[in-house]
Structure 1
Amino acid sequence: MFEHDPTDPHEVGLDADRLAAVPAFFKENYLDTGKLPCMATLISRNGEVALEDYSGTTHLGEGDPIGPDTIFRIYSMTKPLTSLAAMILFEEGKLRLEHEVARYIPEFADVKVFDGGTREGYTVRDPDRPMRVLDLFTHTSGLTYGFMMQNEVDALYRKEKIGRPDETLQQMAKRLAGLPLLCSPGEEWWYSHSIDVLGAIVEIVSGMELDEFFRQRITGPLGMVDTEFWVPEEKLPRLMACYEKHAITGEVKLADPAGAESKLYAKRPTLLNGGGGLVSTVRDYHRFALMLLRGGTLDGARIISPKTWEFMRQNHLPNGETMRSMGRSMFSEVMSPGVGFGLGGSVVTDVVASQQPGSESTFSWGGLASTFFWVDPEEEIIGVQMTQMMPSSAYPMRVQFQQLAYAAVDW
């Protein structure tokens, strides 16, 4: 939805040659070596797009060239949208961060904490305090993910098939309430189904299913025309293939085919996964990020207040802790030192500790298939990067993307 070609980088204080080195780096080190099928890159400053590049193809080593209309699975980059949806309701006085989750989902009133044993037989105890809405935003709820392979609770999630495709978001949330927590709420940071439960609360409070809420309150007003929980038939040819790299052997295999052969995105799902279910394009997601940078408004569409956005990008972890100091999870989309967690994404709290240039209060998050975005309010820089390789920890692309981008700053 860009009306003009990218602006002259110098006009927004960026060096053109250094900016061009960003996609060149990924082409040389990842595409030409066969590690990735493609890379889509967008960098803007002061709201002006200074770099937009599409390199590679829709299949590894073959297929059609990618472009602005290529649709990517963005997985956990869904989380900032679900968090924003909850904050829209917060602005309307319909929920509070200190409210107990059980206020909206009564099943959570009786939630217990794992206290020993195995998934086949275990003991539980009462939590030290109730789970609150803020705990869901910040992944300090005590919930986890079944794919972690770290403990008996995530093994129990796998046994109970949490996240199965035949249940609704609210049904999944209620089943989660019947399983033990890893820890008492507020004690530890665990990447988790927390945002799925938050999405269920959005549905309950608004009276709308999550996809409809997104369309009416976020993606529709922002003109994010290709951001959905599935790909309509007429758009399926634009959905590229997704790959997976084995953590031990390094073998790469096809995880989900492109286009109409996709087994996951060709029809509307029953489970509207608020923590990881959306597909999108680089331009669509840039519009979302640009709305945040501009304080909650874009092209006349007011989504949230500037003060709400300012509040969201503060570190909301207790006692000023970081994800690294509070986290017990072996996997996270962002886990650099000097980074806390806001309402829906990571927040830089200490630039020096993060070990690369940047700004405090920079807000970012990524997705399982190696998609990523950040918003730097101080420098007014947005970066969006998309490819399709799982897991996102396969290669250090995110820190490389940011260090190359900041190297292009002239003034």
Structure 2
Amino acid sequence: MKKLLTFLLLAGITFQTNAQQQLKPAASVSAAGFSPERLKRLDSFFNEAIKNGYAPNAVTFIARNGQIVHHKAYGFSNIEKRIPAKTTDIFRIASQTKLITTIAMMMLYEQGKFFLDDPIAKYLPEFKDIQVLVSYDKTTGKIETRAPKTPPTIRHLLSHSAGIGYGTELDSQLFGGSMTYLSSLDAITTEEIVKKVAKRPLSHDPGAQFTYGYNTDVAGRIVEVLSGKSLNDFFQDRIFTPLGMQDTWFYLPPSKADRLVELYAKPTMESPITLHASESNRKFPIAGKQTLYLGGAGLVSTAADYAKVCQLILNGGEFNHVRLLSRKTVALMGRNQIGESEVWDRHDKFGLGLQIITENSRYGDQASVGSLTWGGAYCSEYTIDPEEKLIMLVFTNVSPYAYYGEFVRKFRILAYQALE
């Protein structure tokens, strides 16, 4: 444990000092440190998954030292129309949005706009009287709350330890139904969502444990308040344009709409792949009122575009000859922020916007200790391995997805086993 804690405290020192400014195809797979023969196992895995009805499609992206060694598409972006998948396909990335919102927050942090331990209420007054849930009687509807031992802070938001979860039993009583957390075709805003979050009691005292939820959506609203811009405009002006990310959006321009993959569902391994039942989740990037900029779930992107964000982190805050964050800030993002708590049953830690693979990980498989990862509800995931100077991403769009864990972890296992 002492060894692990020491490593986590020093996390960031292995980030690249000679930043790769562009991601380019490797001169040869072997020169980049991969076995060409072993990489073919990825082809076998995805082709079999699609043949057996486990996945509709997949797009991969693996790069080491900025050299792309595997960027392929498998299956069909639209099964019904038999449209072959392409590496340029655009996917809903859901919670992979959270890292980009965290980057935006840390850019403002570096401008001296806030301290990590500032209470949320300093910037969003609606959180001033936030309470902690003590009990809830579903029969009578009686809710008992108390004041938190400490107010929720920005650090709590970015590490998912504020006590702000996703759908709770109270939502129907408080708001007449469940709250939006992935998408909407209606004319609602992040500000409206966040004000509802502020009316719900916290599930526990801030800092007590890891609880995944609306935290980063609240952080996205803070970005808007501190910058005076919508989250969409901040992302486009301060992150996407400088990094050369032309395919990452909240809502797609009409010229890119036909590149959006279809969204499917596979709730059990025995279930066939079918169209997703939610029109909102299927169509939000290209339809509806398009007013909701969810910092925790709202973006769409390509594997190659999002790889630029991963390379930025691997580079210690710089990419495309642009420095968005200092290397010390990126190192801070990769340090444990949740104490003795762990990310679900994974035996991993969480930093600021990033899951940290530990030596006791039950999720990271061969990933080096200190590697950083996260994914999205529609099934997409990235891993950033500073020790191997490696980034890897795999995208598909299925939700609910019984094959999710096997899909993303077997991809990572097969990528690592190909390293020479």
TM-score, normalisation: structure 2: 0.87
Q: Which residue of 2 aligns with 1:331?
A: none
Q: Which residue of 2 aligns with 1:192?
A: 213
Measured at CA, do residues 309 and 254 of structure 1 come closer, stay the same or move farther in structure 2, by a change above 3 Å?
A: same
Given residue 149 of structure 2, which amino acid in structure 1 is its aligned partner? D
Q: Which of 15, 30, 41 is equivalent to 1:10?
A: 30
Following TM superposition, by how much is the alpha carbon of 1:263 offset from its aligned partner in structure 2, in angstroms?
2.8
Q: Which residue of 2 aligns with 1:386?
A: 395
Given residue 359 of structure 2, which amino acid in structure 1 is its aligned partner? D
Q: Which residue of 2 aligns with 1:75?
A: 94
Measured at CA, do residues 355 and 178 of structure 1 come closer, stay the same or move farther in structure 2, by a change above 3 Å?
A: closer
Q: Which residue of 2 aligns with 1:409?
A: 419
- C-alpha separation in 2, matches of 1:142 and 1:209: 26
Measured at CA, do residues 202 and 233 of structure 1 come closer, stay the same or move farther in structure 2, by a change above 3 Å?
A: same
Q: Which residue of 1 aligns with 2:144?
A: 123
SS of the counterpart of 1:356?
Answer: coil
SS of the counterpart of 1:228?
Answer: coil
Measured at CA, do residues 196 and 34 of structure 1 come closer, stay the same or move farther in structure 2, by a change above 3 Å?
A: same
Q: Which residue of 2 aligns with 1:90?
A: 109
Alignment root-mean-square deviation, CA: 2.5
- C-alpha separation in 2, matches of 1:23 and 1:153: 46
Measured at CA, do residues 283 and 156 of structure 1 come closer, stay the same or move farther in structure 2, by a change above 3 Å?
A: farther
Following TM superposition, by how much is the alpha carbon of 1:392 offset from its aligned partner in structure 2, in angstroms?
5.2
- Within 5 A, what are the aligned runs for 1:64-213? 64-118=83-137, 120-146=141-167, 152-153=169-170, 156=173, 159-163=176-180, 165-213=186-234
- Within 5 A, what are the aligned runs for 1:232-251? 232-247=253-268, 250=271
- C-alpha separation in 1, matches of 2:383 and 2:364: 16
- C-alpha separation in 2, matches of 1:2 and 1:35: 34
Q: Which of 239, 244, 247 is equivalent to 1:218?
A: 239
- C-alpha separation in 2, matches of 1:342 and 1:383: 19
Measured at CA, do residues 393 and 144 of structure 1 come closer, stay the same or move farther in structure 2, by a change above 3 Å?
A: farther
Measured at CA, do residues 126 and 400 of structure 1 come closer, stay the same or move farther in structure 2, by a change above 3 Å?
A: same
Measured at CA, do residues 157 and 97 of structure 1 come closer, stay the same or move farther in structure 2, by a change above 3 Å?
A: farther
Q: Which residue of 2 aligns with 1:341?
A: 350
Residue 58 of structure 2 is aligned to residue 39 of structure 1: yes
Following TM superposition, by how much is the alpha carbon of 1:393 offset from its aligned partner in structure 2, in angstroms?
5.4
Given residue 418 of structure 2, which amino acid in structure 1 is its aligned partner? A
SS of the counterpart of 2:311?
Answer: helix
Query: What's the CA shift string for 1:311-342, capped at 9, x where partnerless?
Result: 111111124x3213xxxxxxxxxx523x1101
Higher relative contact order (CA 8 A, sep 6+): 2
SS of the counterpart of 2:93?
Answer: strand
- C-alpha separation in 1, matches of 2:364 and 2:131: 39
Residue 366 of structure 2 is aligned to residue 350 of structure 1: no
Aligned residues, how many? Answer: 392
Measured at CA, do residues 383 and 392 of structure 1 come closer, stay the same or move farther in structure 2, by a change above 3 Å?
A: farther
- C-alpha separation in 1, matches of 2:212 and 2:89: 29
Measured at CA, do residues 318 and 40 of structure 1 come closer, stay the same or move farther in structure 2, by a change above 3 Å?
A: same
Following TM superposition, by how much is the alpha carbon of 1:283 offset from its aligned partner in structure 2, in angstroms?
0.8
Query: What's the CA shift string for 1:149-192, capped at 9, x where partnerless?
Result: xx524655774542264321122112211111111111121110
Q: Which residue of 2 aligns with 1:368?
A: 377
Unaligned runs of 5+ in 1: 325-334
SS of the counterpart of 1:276?
Answer: coil
Q: Do 2:265 and 2:401's aligned partners in 1 also have CA atoms closer than 8 Å? A: no
Q: Which of 16, 19, 29 is equivalent to 2:39?
A: 19
Q: Which residue of 2 aligns with 1:329?
A: none
SS of the counterpart of 2:45?
Answer: helix
Measured at CA, do residues 61 and 400 of structure 1 come closer, stay the same or move farther in structure 2, by a change above 3 Å?
A: farther
Residue 315 of structure 2 is aligned to residue 294 of structure 1: yes
- C-alpha separation in 2, matches of 1:200 and 1:154: 20
- C-alpha separation in 2, matches of 1:206 and 1:221: 17
- C-alpha separation in 2, matches of 1:35 and 1:103: 47
Measured at CA, do residues 274 and 251 of structure 1 come closer, stay the same or move farther in structure 2, by a change above 3 Å?
A: same
- C-alpha separation in 1, matches of 2:365 and 2:172: 36
Unaligned runs of 5+ in 2: 1-20
Given residue 349 of structure 2, which amino acid in structure 1 is its aligned partner? G
- C-alpha separation in 1, matches of 2:271 and 2:174: 27
Q: Which of 310, 319, 327 is equivalent to 2:331?
A: 310
- C-alpha separation in 2, matches of 1:353 and 1:336: 5
Q: State percent identity of aligned pairs.
A: 32
Q: Do 1:242 and 1:257's aligned partners in 2 also have CA atoms closer than 8 Å? A: no
